[in-house]
Structure 1
Amino acid sequence: MTNAQLYDDVRQAQLGDRGAMQRIIEAYYPLIRKASRSVPPAAAKDFEQTIIEKIVRAVHNYDLEAIPDFVTFCEMEE
Structure 2
Amino acid sequence: MENELFDLVQRAQNGDNQAMHEIISFFMPAIKSARSKMKADRQDDLEQNIVETIMHKIMTYDLNQTPDFSAFGRQLND
Q: State the partner residue of 1:10.
A: 9
> Greater CA deviation, 16-25 or 36-45?
36-45
C-alpha displacement of 1:38: 2.1
Letter in 2 for 1:72: R
Q: State the partner residue of 2:62.
A: 63
The residue matched to 2:77 in structure 1 has which SS? Answer: helix
Query: RMSD in angstroms over aligned alpha carbons?
Result: 1.1
The residue matched to 2:62 in structure 1 has which SS? Answer: coil
C-alpha displacement of 1:41: 1.1
C-alpha displacement of 1:10: 0.3
- In structure 2, what is the Cα distance between the partners aligned to 1:65 and 1:16? 18
> Greater CA deviation, 38-47 or 61-70?
61-70
For normalisation by structure 1, the TM-score amounts to 0.89
Q: State the partner residue of 1:73.
A: 75
Uncovered stretches (5+) of structure 1, i.e. residues with no partner? none
Uncovered stretches (5+) of structure 2, i.e. residues with no partner? none
- In structure 1, what is the Cα distance between the partners aligned to 2:65 and 2:50? 22
Q: State the partner residue of 2:51.
A: 52
For normalisation by structure 2, the TM-score amounts to 0.89
% of aligned pairs identical?
32
